[in-house]
A and B are shown apart, each in its own frame.
Chain A
Amino acid sequence: MSALVYVRDQLGNGCVPRFDRARRRADPRSLWYRRNEQVDAAVEAALRCTEAGLPVTVVAIGPERVDWLLKHYLAAGATAAVRVWSPDLDHVELDDSLAASLMEGVIEQLRPDWIWLGDDDHGAVAVHLAELTGRVLAISVVDVTGRGHELELDRRLDRMTERVRLTAPGIIAVKRGAALRYPSHRDRLAARQQAVTVLDAGAALDGIVHGRHPTVTAITPPKPPTTRRRELSGADDRVAELILGGTGGGHSQVVEDTVPNMARLAVATILDRVNSTTPTNPTTGDSP
């Protein structure tokens, strides 16, 4: 029973990209990276669900820069690392379907029983892979039990957990799970010596990129969130004024009053917000 984990890193929390608008990209010198929690959880799940001695290969798409990530997962217990790259990828947008198409090439070569991914943004690479390979898929996975050919998974749907059984070959996108094991110093040193296999994506790209969808036309720093919900039903006037008056942009409504008055206003404001999203049981439609 072999496993392949598609891994990627993500921008550091405090990283502030500098934008090169003419080239529609961020200046690479302004970027720094950290590990992605969901990918960590996927690697850990793959290590736990694969029998000892069987291969767990971590695969990343990217330039030499991403080797640090592959080496970290090697140190944590992955048995091999593959990096897919072509300088041509510098000039195209690596969207979900392109990432899936490149991964498909690796999957054809390695033929893993299980493919693991972090369900970090949209789970979309996993879905595209399922469409390309015809494997059974589970996204939004929060717990995995079992080992080998058959696994039991908990998938988190909207406020509901669904338990599913998957039989290999399959694709699993992990949203949450156990923390990645901490590699020892010795394992880190050993991983440094391990080679990363580099696969040239050039040939695959020729076939894939031609006739692709519209690409990004502009990239800018995100706007501060201004899209507060604006509809209010049944709230009293002062509450409506409080919520609608707040812009979230440095102009909050400041209330100084007696404790009972503030409690009344705070509760009315809170209940107005909470009642518009009262949790319900999606299977029965009943409130819990």
Chain B
Amino acid sequence: MNAGDGRIRVLIETAGGAITPLSASLLHLAADLAESRDLAVHAVMYQALSHPHDLAAAAGRYGASVVAVPETEMDAIDLTAALVSDRDQDPGLLLTSATAVGREVAARVGARLDLPVLHAATAVEWRDGRLVVSCPALDGKASARTVIDAAPTLGAVVTVAEGAFSGVEIDGRPPARIEPLHRAETDAPWCPRPHVTGRALTPVDELGLDEVDVVVAGGMGLGGPEGFSLLRELAELLGGRVGASRMVTDRGWISTDALVGQTGATVAPSLYLACGISGAPQHVIGMRDSATVIAINTDAHAAIGQVADVLFVADARKLVPAMIELIERDRSNLAGTQA
């Protein structure tokens, strides 16, 4: 690939008009990869936006030079058609997040352009002029490294899951240039789409433990089922769900839906709060990939300390109510200022 004529395209998603943390991490990864090879980073949106200039400024700070925005929201089929429409250009590298839309687009573009598709990458780097991508293999028990030639042209699709990389904004970078993302005449007219009959925000209590951003988990240290009422209150305040260790689900303090670990759910939320949980390997196996782990335990040497970022040495039955009170006070102060 000649210097300057290649590109890395990044499929980005927004929430509340802002780039999601996962998309920000993709842009940052793309900017890192692009820097040493003189490539351009093009952000591609599929949601329509009322304030594209704010998004362009943010995308610029994360390293994009161009952001393509559609007039109306596109689904995975439209988006695939748009992404493969300029077949005469080098495909370059396409980065997408491992969300439902990102996964579908990644696999469709890979199939349509006959490119390798690598899922849930944990490392993407240049080595000796070739792109080296590490991904989980063998059901997550191994890491597989794939080497992709960048000459004469680079062509690959890589998806990235939450927490694998971080997004860092760099002040002073210019805003990305806004370009329209045109609906392309699909090259796959055979491709039917499902008939969408409705859409609704999913209530947190209907989300699976593995889908929420915050898990507030409790173990034997809570002393009984009443300890879980406190955890429910805290989880509700944080928009999360309650998890539990096996010892407590076996005792019926909470239903087995809450079980985390070898015989329960495997979770990787942004925040995992472990209250009165010792950190047995069978529990840890189900939560060790959480982005931040905070533990509350009366034992400063509890095994949970091995995986926790912070261990508060305290009686959870005292610390949790104090935390609830502080958060409620914080929220009511905030409401007071906004009123």
Using CB atoms and an 8 Å cutoff, list the residues of chain A in contact with chain B.
10-11, 13-17, 19, 26, 31, 96-97, 121-124, 127-128, 130-132, 134-140, 152-153, 155-167, 170, 176, 213-223, 225, 227-231, 242-243, 245-248, 250, 252-256, 259-260, 262-267, 269-271, 273-274, 276-283, 285-288
Which residue of the partner chain, among B137, B195, B238, contacts A216 with CB atoms under 8 Å? B137
Q: Are A254 and B165 in contact (CB under 8 A)?
A: no
Which residue of the partner chain, among A19, A163, A280, contacts B16 with CB atoms under 8 Å? A280
| Given known contacts A127-B104, A136-B193, A162-B196, A270 and B294 CB-to-CB distance under 8 angstroms | yes
Cβ-based interface call for B52 (8 A): no
Q: Are A139 and B103 in contact (CB under 8 A)?
A: yes
| Given known contacts A273-B271, A277-B213, A164 and B194 CB-to-CB distance under 8 angstroms | yes
**Complex Cα gap A152–B188 (Å):** 25
| Stretch of B3-11, B33-41, B106-114, B225-233 contacting A (4+ beta carbons < 8 Å) | B106-114
| Stretch of B85-93, B242-250, B310-318 contacting A (4+ beta carbons < 8 Å) | B310-318
Q: Write 11 A-B pairs (CB below 8 A) sorted by A numbering.
A: A127-B104, A130-B108, A131-B108, A134-B191, A163-B200, A214-B116, A220-B145, A254-B305, A274-B239, A276-B270, A277-B270
Which residue of the partner chain, among A165, A255, A271, contacts B311 with CB atoms under 8 Å? A255
When distances are taken between beta carbons in the complex, the residues of chain B under 8 Å from A16 are 141
Q: Are A222 and B143 in contact (CB under 8 A)?
A: yes
Using CB atoms and an 8 Å cutoff, list the residues of chain B in contact with chain A.
13-17, 20-21, 47, 98-101, 103-104, 106-108, 110-112, 115-117, 119-120, 122, 136-149, 159, 163-168, 188, 190-202, 204, 206-208, 211, 213-214, 238-239, 262-263, 270-271, 273, 285, 288-289, 291-296, 300, 305-315, 318-319, 322-323, 325-327, 330
When distances are taken between beta carbons in the complex, the residues of chain B under 8 Å from A161 are 199-202, 206
**Complex Cα gap A220–B296 (Å):** 34
Q: Are A156 and B211 in contact (CB under 8 A)?
A: yes
Taking the nearest CB of chain A, how far is it from the CB of B78, in angstroms?
A: 14
When distances are taken between beta carbons in the complex, the residues of chain B under 8 Å from A220 are 142-143, 145
Q: Are B164 and A227 in contact (CB under 8 A)?
A: yes
| Given known contacts A123-B103, A139-B100, A227-B164, A217 and B145 CB-to-CB distance under 8 angstroms | yes
**Complex Cα gap A14–B284 (Å):** 12
When distances are taken between beta carbons in the complex, the residues of chain B under 8 Å from A286 are 16
Which residue of the partner chain, among B47, B166, B322, contacts A260 with CB atoms under 8 Å? B322
**Complex Cα gap A223–B142 (Å):** 9
**Complex Cα gap A272–B106 (Å):** 32
Shortest 8 CB-CB distances between A and B: which pairs? A246-B309, A127-B107, A263-B322, A134-B190, A164-B194, A280-B16, A213-B116, A280-B15
Q: Are A273 and B143 in contact (CB under 8 A)?
A: no
Minimum CB distance partner of B161 in chain A: A122
Q: Are A97 and B198 in contact (CB under 8 A)?
A: no
Q: Are B98 and A165 in contact (CB under 8 A)?
A: no
Given contacts A124-B103, A127-B111, A131-B191, 18 further A-B contacts (CB under 8 A): A123-B107, A136-B192, A157-B101, A162-B198, A164-B197, A219-B137, A220-B143, A221-B141, A227-B166, A246-B310, A254-B300, A254-B305, A256-B313, A259-B314, A259-B315, A274-B214, A278-B16, A286-B16
Q: Are A279 and B305 in contact (CB under 8 A)?
A: no
When distances are taken between beta carbons in the complex, the residues of chain A under 8 Å from B318 are 259
| Given known contacts A11-B139, A122-B107, A136-B193, A229 and B285 CB-to-CB distance under 8 angstroms | no
| Given known contacts A127-B104, A131-B188, A285-B16, A214 and B149 CB-to-CB distance under 8 angstroms | yes
| Given known contacts A97-B111, A269-B310, A274 and B21 CB-to-CB distance under 8 angstroms | no
| Given known contacts A213-B116, A214-B146, A288-B201, A231 and B166 CB-to-CB distance under 8 angstroms | yes
Q: Are A228 and B309 in contact (CB under 8 A)?
A: yes
Q: Are B270 and A274 in contact (CB under 8 A)?
A: yes
**Complex Cα gap A213–B116 (Å):** 6
**Complex Cα gap A164–B6 (Å):** 38
**Complex Cα gap A124–B214 (Å):** 27
Minimum CB distance partner of B198 in chain A: A163
When distances are taken between beta carbons in the complex, the residues of chain A under 8 Å from B196 are 162-164
Taking the nearest CB of chain B, how far is it from the CB of A28, in angstroms?
A: 11
Which residue of the partner chain, among A128, A130, A163, contacts B199 with CB atoms under 8 Å? A163
Which residue of the partner chain, among B21, B107, B122, B314, contacts A262 with CB atoms under 8 Å? B314
- Which of A17, A227, A281 counts the most chain B CB atoms within 10 A? A227
Q: Are B119 and A285 in contact (CB under 8 A)?
A: no
Q: Are A255 and B310 in contact (CB under 8 A)?
A: yes
**Complex Cα gap A14–B166 (Å):** 30
**Complex Cα gap A89–B122 (Å):** 27
**Complex Cα gap A269–B315 (Å):** 18
**Complex Cα gap A253–B3 (Å):** 46
When distances are taken between beta carbons in the complex, the residues of chain A under 8 Å from B116 are 213-214
When distances are taken between beta carbons in the complex, the residues of chain A under 8 Å from B310 are 242-243, 246, 252-255, 266, 269
**Complex Cα gap A119–B77 (Å):** 19
When distances are taken between beta carbons in the complex, the residues of chain B under 8 Å from A140 are 100
Q: Are B104 and A139 in contact (CB under 8 A)?
A: yes
Q: Are A263 and B326 in contact (CB under 8 A)?
A: yes
**Complex Cα gap A176–B265 (Å):** 12
